[in-house]
Structure 1
Amino acid sequence: MPQIELLHPDHSPALLAFERENRAYFAATIPDRGDDFFARFDDHLRDRLAEQETGACYFHVVTGAEGEVLGRINLVDVADGGADLGYRIAERAAGRGLATWAVRELCRTAATDYGLTVLRAGTTLDNAASRAVLARTGFTVVGERQFSGRPGLTYRRALTP
């Protein structure tokens, strides 16, 4: 059974392996993190953990039965009862409902543990899988937006504890 865990320093090796293994897969649908992300991974992780300490963001990993990282799911720009949702699932775990499960779980956590009342999300038009996950988990389209020059949609979901 997968779990969602709040990001902590012990996740570093498994998280870096996850990012490296899935770099090309992710780059097909979302902007690549760039070589600097991998070269300075420890610095980036330290920065994210410092951000998390302020309550401005909540970074999570989705782990499998053996503690392997199968995905990331994050809440960023937390303010005024809302946050932006972002997620990515490993290629080897895609297409099995893991993203839908993780988004549902994090919506519950956002409402009950973090006291949030609304989540926002966005994806490109050509990312059918992400659009389907957002639709299945109660997000509704609220607008259009460009993502690194690619057309996309923005979404919103109200949360209740």
Structure 2
Amino acid sequence: MLTLEPLRPDHAEALLDFERTNRAFFARSIPDRGDDYFARFADRHAALLAEQAEGVCRFHVIRDAAGVLVGRVNLVDLADGGAELGYRVAESATGRGVAGAAVAEVCRLAATAYGLRFLTAVTTVDNPASQAVLTRNGFELGREFLLGDRPALAYRRDLTDLVGPADPADPADPG
């Protein structure tokens, strides 16, 4: 069983370990974060928590059944009913449905708890696993572009199907 937890201050050590352990794995399919990211991780973590407190972003860690941090899934730049989805899963957790389940859950949260109507996401052309996660979760391919020096794909997911119908007895619903 997987759980998604909103990012907290006490996640810092496990999150830094996760990022360090998987750095080379991630760099095979997405641009590397660079040495400065790791050198200034504490400052970066504090900045993410501040953004989350302001409601600009929603950051989550993914824990497996044993409570081990195996990934992260984030919604950034919340504005105008939408946000950009980003996620990464530990190499040791790939191929087990972790990314797909986490993306499905964050889509549900985005629609029901965060009031979002759509999400966007990008992945590199040479990352078919990420493309599959997105398409299985209802994202539709938009356009191809360059992410740094790598060919990438943009996706979009309408979230309105995840929100139940309005209550017909609700007087505030113009119906």
Normalised by the shorter chain, which TM-score bucket? over 0.9
The one-letter code sitting in structure 2 at the alignment partner of 1:62 is I
- Counting matched residue pairs gives 161
Q: Which has the larger radius of gyration?
A: 2
- Write the deviation string for residues 109-128 of structure 1: whole angstroms up to 9, x where unpaired: 00000000000001111011
Paired residues for 1:51-66 under 5 Å = 51-66=51-66
The one-letter code sitting in structure 2 at the alignment partner of 1:28 is R
Residue 106 of structure 1 pairs with residue 136 of structure 2: no
Paired residues for 1:3-152 under 5 Å = 3-152=3-152
Runs of 4+ in 1 over 6 A off after TM superposition: none
**3-state SS in 2 of match to 1:33:** coil
- Structure 1 CA distance, aligned partners of 2:6 and 2:96? 22
- Structure 2 CA distance, aligned partners of 1:73 and 1:14? 15
Tell me the TM-score normalised to structure 2 length. 0.90
Per-residue deviation, 1:65: 2.5
Tell me the TM-score normalised to structure 1 length. 0.98
Q: Percent sequence identity over matched residues?
A: 60
- Structure 2 CA distance, aligned partners of 1:149 and 1:40? 25
The one-letter code sitting in structure 1 at the alignment partner of 2:100 is T
Identify the residue that residue 171 of structure 2 maps to in structure 1: none
Structure 1: gaps of 5 or more residues: none
The one-letter code sitting in structure 2 at the alignment partner of 1:59 is F
